[in-house]
Homo-oligomer: A and B are copies of this chain.
């Protein structure tokens, strides 16, 4: 029997298998053996489905560090897991950045653990949300960056000697990961310094 949860579960599978463009209401209905219009007895809109899918993705993000480690080590572990989750679902990035958390239980649970870890780590309450948002912005931007083609910075016919030099000097392998690691290290180093100054 058709339920909102059943629709969400099938939507997650569909998104995983067919990607962003494959997730249409028609495709979702066909998979569930039902007419497209039948879905609207259980969800109000496609945005509804996407919000539920997003909460499911957030359920898989690793927040365990905040009960075991120092705040900065926990933040690093969370950020990496968070980035990887959204690198698998880049279409959800603009949604995540903008959707209120009020009806997403797993998402709220995640923020609760992160906030508690920062507070316990010595961050003043008035800065906790800013730290979370700052790290999250870096994470979501980095998740989008994983989708970039390897030659994204190739200037082609255009004149850009320094860009060319920097490209040539950059080591191969997982370049998106290297940029993420450098940025995360800088961000955490900076946050440690700021905490000493402001805490």
A positions within 8 Å CB-CB of B: 90, 93-94, 97-103, 105, 108-109, 111-112, 115-116, 119, 124-142, 144-145, 147-149, 151-158, 160-163, 165-171, 175-176, 178-180, 182-183, 185-191, 193-194
Q: Residue on B with the closest CB to A144?
A: B97
A108 touching B155 in the complex, CB below 8 Å, given contacts A136-B141, A182-B194, A194-B182: yes
Q: Residue on B with the closest CB to A184?
A: B134
B162 touches A101 (CB 8 A): no
Residue in contact with A162 in the complex, picked from B116, B136, B139, B142, CB distance below 8 Å: B116
A129 touches B183 (CB 8 A): no
B180 touches A134 (CB 8 A): yes
B152 touches A100 (CB 8 A): yes
A135 touches B100 (CB 8 A): no
| Chain B residues, Cβ within 8 Å of A153 | 101, 111, 129
A155 touches B101 (CB 8 A): yes
| Chain B residues, Cβ within 8 Å of A169 | 124-126, 128
A134 touches B166 (CB 8 A): no
| Chain B residues, Cβ within 8 Å of A183 | 130, 133-135, 137-138, 187
A126 touches B191 (CB 8 A): no
